[in-house]
Structure 1
């Protein structure tokens, strides 16, 4: 009789075949219109990290994988088989340091399909081995197909070409890179104590280094709380994360709060203590918390979001950082349903958008969006801008933000708003307002590239 495993023995890693079965389901869900984040929440916990990593890889190569499958097997196989094939073809895509050897991918894909659709195992084996034999010729063919070449829908490619011309290929390539992990060091400290000029970022950077987690500090003055880790880690490994020493937030997103609060690094005065501020689309709460961190937790801050479930994240973030805000579920554009008639000194509108600037963090976005979504989102953004502008005091400021690189959701949206409102003036801060592109030479810092964002600071005359 074999001995039972020791309870102290390390858990055995799941096989690639098992991970492929779950990854194929995730890819099938995305192709059917479901968010990958939502699907991963139901994935078994012991499989989730591996499935997420594989899903990101497959979705970053999905255009090429679909084109390959059509060439290698013109007749559509059953969905379960098709999505397993797509996953395997994406993992077989040539790269400098592949995670798995080609023979391992083929063998494990065949093992996976035997479990899900055994009669198709010989078919899957034949398709994958044919790809390995004819790889060079097949890859040459794909260079003529924009969807396969860039791994984005054709309408997305066309829109980037229209908006950004010769920068479009670089933007498409950037979307297939891994995003850096960026922290925002809490300037109030874990216990919300006054810092008296103490450099908490430098202290926290030293603590990270002591734990073998080197980081870089972006040089832009408005990013004086940001640290970019050389390598991402689970938040549980960050010093005092649970007690509020830091938050995870991309550097581009960290520009919203200082643009609205004003003061050092900006040409406009800092909002006074007690200023009445609205965060109109607050979930998941990173920018809400940042506003109070910058203001010493002294703003009269209202955080709205239309999704009550997502507001729980806002409350959790505020509680972890020991910050205060009134949190309420409401459609910000339906002001009659929630506004008490008191105007705001400042408003942050981080509007619903295509998320085209954060595709490297959410590789499913490109496959979930449709070209008609952009016009619909632009209408929503315009409705929110017009409604909230009426709630702003004369002399007040509104920051309009989207995590998008499409001009219809940024520059064109703001231009149209200024045409409609004679009392609005756009204030500029080079490197911080306008379109920020996720390219190393287009953001305020070259180490590393920021997420794609758009910011407009609007002053009410």
Structure 2
């Protein structure tokens, strides 16, 4: 096995079976760190530019691939990606890609792959493409008419690698010294932003809970929730645990209940909090919208609802979203968000606050969702966010992908009136 063959198998699962990249990204068969890095680059890169690569391939190969040969189509996409985006000599990229046909036991495709990639070298076909499905571009144009092109371009960039230092253990400045000693060059904006991604196990003190990987935009949640000492707090959709941990780091919380509806994600949540040495959270595998299955009847002072969403604000971090997400998903997700808001609001104390968060940039999931909720709940009011980042919306604030190196996030805070 090598980087290209492993990437071919992973991407075939994503493209053919519509599975998420994070679920399929198993690089354990590659023992060489350089091969692992190349395989990861190929997987993320092909998905980041998939519509453009597919458009170029259609010019080069007129006949549609049979379902059982999607892996050869994927291999050609990998070959094109190397030619266009990586600094690998063209003859080396072609030769190494052709060799994969033998590893896939499809030697009939050897001459095809060789001919297609050499043909591309000769013609240098280029298609000016923003590399997004048309329906996503339609949403961007509608919701962000003056910024939509910048958003599309930002979605096609590599995301930063951002950290949050566990303030219970040490200060950010102290941790910076450990990074410098480890010769990991850093740039600080929010928390710590590394100049390039690294294996988390190589981070000083990662296993001991000194630090967590979390984008700067996600780090705003704990501050905005403004938790009083001794509070009872609910993190309704908590996995993988970054925001729960940040709340426990920042505040003196009496009770934190953290939920997620999927067992595999609850495992990640549990492991994250254990690594950071927070063993006092109450973790449940449960649907937050069905309180009867997990709630003990005691109201909450604060509720964090990091709602399931399209992920349209984190496409640069999860490029498979462009391929896996469909237009009709937005309406379904908006309905799920509404269901969660309706179920959780009665659990909040009078005078309490609910922070609504998504990593979406679509208005339907964000301020329009909250606007509709306020129109139908007389005991809810918009608690204005006194911050200067992002874009002010009719309700809440929106960060767009790439701004100040941040992911795209939406925040709104609702207060329950007495």
* TM bracket (short chain): over 0.9
Mean CA deviation greater in 164-173 or 429-438: 429-438
Unpaired segments ≥5 residues, structure 1: 1-13, 144-148, 191-199, 263-269, 441-445
Aligned equivalent of 1:373: 329
Question: How does 1:450-461 map onto structure 2 within 5 Å?
Answer: 450-461=406-417
Residue 148 of structure 2 is matched in structure 1 by 168
Give the 5 Å matches for 1:414-429. 414-429=370-385
Match of 2:175 in 1: 204
Residue 59 of structure 1: how far off its partner (Å): 1.1
| Aligned counterpart in structure 1 of residue 81 of structure 2, from 70, 74, 90 | 90
**Whole-Å Cα distance in 2 between the matches of residues 427 and 436 of structure 1?**
18
Q: Distance in 2 between matches of 1:21 and 1:61?
A: 19
Counterpart secondary structure, 1:92: helix
Which structure: larger Rg? 1
| 8 Å CA contact retained: 1:354, 1:369 | yes
The TM-score normalised by the length of structure 1 is 0.84
Q: How does 1:354-433 map to 2 (within 5 A)?
A: 354-429=310-385, 430=387, 431=389, 433=396
In 1, Cα distance between the equivalents of 2:115 and 2:78?
15
Q: Normalised by the size of structure 2, how large is the TM-score?
A: 0.92
CA RMSD of aligned residues (A): 1.6
Whether the 8 Å contact between 1:205 and 1:214 is mirrored in structure 2 is no
Q: Alpha carbons of 1:43 and 1:373: their partners in 2 closer, same or farther (altered >3 Å)?
A: farther
Cα contact 1:278–1:344 (8 A) shared by 2: yes
CA spacing shift, 1:366–1:19, aligned 2, 3 Å: same
Using the TM superposition, give the Cα deviation of residue 45 of structure 1 relative to its aligned residue in structure 2, in angstroms.
4.5
Name the CA distance, whole Å, in 1 between partners of 2:168 and 2:30: 34
- Cα shift readout 1:270-326 (whole Å, capped 9, x = no counterpart): 5122x1100001111111111110114x33110011112211111112111111200
Find the aligned partners of 1:158 and 1:365 in 2 and give their Cα distance. Answer: 16
CA distance in 1, matches of 2:15, 2:357: 29
d(CA) in 1 for partners of 2:298, 2:101: 62
Q: 1:48 to 1:231 in 2, by over 3 A?
A: closer
- Corresponding residue pairs, total: 401
Residue 247 of structure 1, CA deviation? 0.8
Shift of 1:42: 7.0
Q: Structure 2: which 5+ runs fail to align? A: 391-395
Taking the aligned partners of 2:28 and 2:315, their CA distance within structure 1 comes to 22
Q: Partners in 2 of 1:255 and 1:369 — Cα distance?
A: 26
Alignment correspondent of 2:192: 227
SS of corresponding position for 2:352: strand
Q: 1:154 aligns with which of 121, 134, 147?
A: 134
